[in-house]
Chains A and B, each alone.
Chain A
Amino acid sequence: MAASARPVTPAASLTSAGGTMVRVQVRVNGQPVTAEVEARTLLVHFLREILGLTGTHIGCDTTNCGACTVHLDGKPVKSCTVLAVQTNGREVRTVEGLEVGGKLSAVQESFYEAHGLQCGFCTPGMMMTATALLAKNPNPTEAEVRDAIRGNLCRCTGYVNIVKAIQLAGQKMQPAAAAPGGKT
């Protein structure tokens, strides 16, 4: 059994094969990206330093604060604790991917309208977590919102307006876009 590892073809089998460099092929915000990086490159550094997508923040760097939250195949994860090479063949979405065609997403709009930020440092991560929550549960209760953002720390607002912003975004995303009280 000793040497039965499959022969290596760099693109397909994702190995650094005796060295420490790997090739990463991933879709980021819908765009295919290919880069040779060190295997130890963390996703957050890959996004910020290789791709220049600095909207994703590095806060604690210890998997606590959630400022680095991005979507990996639609699920929110902390990109300081994922290797870039682990995203091979997968779909990453960052805060830069929320805005489409110059139009802010409902979540972005709502953070602005409901004053869901002060210093803004946690905001990219908050909005990525909120976007994933609302995709699964478009009309969350306050308790459900608070539970969803347990992994995202804010040191300014005390969360009240963040929770309001996320619920407001949920209302904006309702199919009929029924304004509150506007149903007939």
Chain B
Amino acid sequence: MIPPQFEYYAPHTVDEAVALLGRFEGEAKVLAGGHSLLPLMKLRLADPRVLVDINRIPNLAYIQEDDSHLKIGATTRTNDLLDSALLRRSYPIFTDAAQEIADPLVRNLGTVGGNVCHGDPGNDLPACMLALGAEMLVVGPKGPRAIPASGFYKETFVTAVEPTEVLVEVRVPKARPHQGNAYHKIEKRVGDFAIAGVAANLILDSAGRVEVAGLGLTGVGPTAILAAQAASSLVGQMPDDAHLVHASELARDAAQPTSDLRGPQEYKRAMTGVLARRVLDRALTRARGVG
């Protein structure tokens, strides 16, 4: 299969990319890793007149921590997440997710920015961003703006990014002592989209009570889902089994799955609860074990 015809531009700066997106407003798509966009174009599910390839923009691939945030550049490859010692040590949710995204070959090209802003509910990083309370930094004709993950996902394949904007960075609040997070999904076979996936983030206070909690769900609704009630049920608690079970049930109830080839909705809902319990356990173990 060959994609439909398009005009191709490879800008060297973010400003050039934004200018091109403005010039071809609504007719241009950003090409990053291409591992969602090119398959969609081959199937004629996408037919953009113009591709703006951001891979030639230098300094858009990085994983850095400053005083307040972890910052991940848009064209950072999925395997770069997996190889990062910083993430393995302080943000293991990304190591968990990266090793479950597609396969090692796809991960050499697929990008963090693409995974975050493609808007497919089966993408794995959106749930992580929701759990972590991340912000997406986009640049448009009026300059940069930060969009909280909780307001980013509108509907399937629709995000808060305007057609004239490009995502350049994802920002996650800097890891704190007694913080733990985890991600896990189940899939029918390697590289398939999730039947269900859950991301969890917990921060404990010095006494061991939950101070901050976040839960995100993959593949069980029209978009990634923020399971806010499930998370808030844990805040202020000295978490024990009963609290985790209760939170997992609330996470399960937040799922809005539909039946398809990956399973009936009852099964996906049940698996959401099972996975929530498992990742909460892992996040709690990590929160107690570090710092």
Partner of A78, one of B1, B6, B105: B105
Tell me, rounded to whole Å, the shortest Cβ–Cβ distance linking B128 to chain A: 21
Q: Total interface residues on A, using CB and 8 Å?
A: 44
Query: How many inter-chain residue pairs (CB < 8 Å) link A and B?
Result: 121
A183 within 8 A of B: no
B19 to A1, Cβ gap below 8 A?
yes
Q: Please tell me if A170 contacts chain B, counting CB pairs below 8 Å.
A: no
* Distance in angstroms between the alpha carbons of A105 and B193 in the assembled complex: 36
Stretch at the interface among A82-90, A113-121, A171-179: A82-90
A48 at interface, CB cutoff 8 A: no
Please, which residues of chain A bring their CB within 8 A of the CB of B105? Answer: 66, 69, 76-78, 129, 151-152
Q: Does A5 contact B (CB under 8 A)?
A: yes
Name the CB-closest residue of B to A19. B7
Residues of chain A from 111 to 159 with CB closer than 8 A to chain B in the complex: 129, 147-148, 150-152
Query: Which residues of chain B (1-40) have a CB below 8 Å from chain A?
Result: 1-12, 15-16, 18-20, 22-23, 31, 34-35, 38-39
Flag if B109 contacts A42 (CB, 8 Å): no
A71-107 contacts to B, CB under 8 A, are: 72, 75-78, 81-83, 85-86, 88
Residue of A nearest to B3 (CB): A40
Interface centre among A18, A64, A69, by most B CB within 10 Å? A64
Q: B12 to chain A: closest CB distance in Å?
A: 7
23 A-B contact pairs sorted by A residue (CB < 8 Å): A1-B22, A2-B22, A5-B11, A13-B12, A16-B7, A22-B8, A39-B51, A45-B2, A61-B1, A62-B39, A66-B103, A76-B108, A77-B105, A82-B34, A83-B34, A85-B10, A86-B34, A86-B53, A88-B10, A148-B104, A150-B103, A150-B104, A151-B103
- Complex contact B7–A77 (CB within 8 A): no
- Of the residues B12, B23, B106, contact of A2 by C-beta under 8 Å: B23
A120 to B134, CA, bound (A): 46
Within the assembled complex, what's the spacing in Å between the Cα atoms of A17 and B12? Answer: 15
The residues of A that contact B2 with a CB separation of less than 8 Å are 40-42, 45
Q: Determine whether A29 belongs to the interface, using a CB cutoff of 8 Å to chain B.
A: no
Main secondary structure on A side of the interface with B: loop
The interface of chain A, by Cβ under 8 A from chain B, is 1-6, 13-20, 22, 38-42, 45, 61-64, 66, 69, 72, 75-78, 81-83, 85-86, 88, 129, 147-148, 150-152
Would B7 and A39 count as touching, CB distance under 8 A?
yes
Find out whether the CB atom of A151 lies under 8 angstroms from the CB atom of B51: no
Docked-complex contact A13 and B10, CB < 8 angstroms: yes
Task: Select from chain B the residue with minimum beta-carbon distance to A128.
Answer: B105
C-alpha spacing A15/B53, complex, angstroms: 10
Inside 8 A of B39's CB, which chain A residues have their CB? 62-63, 81
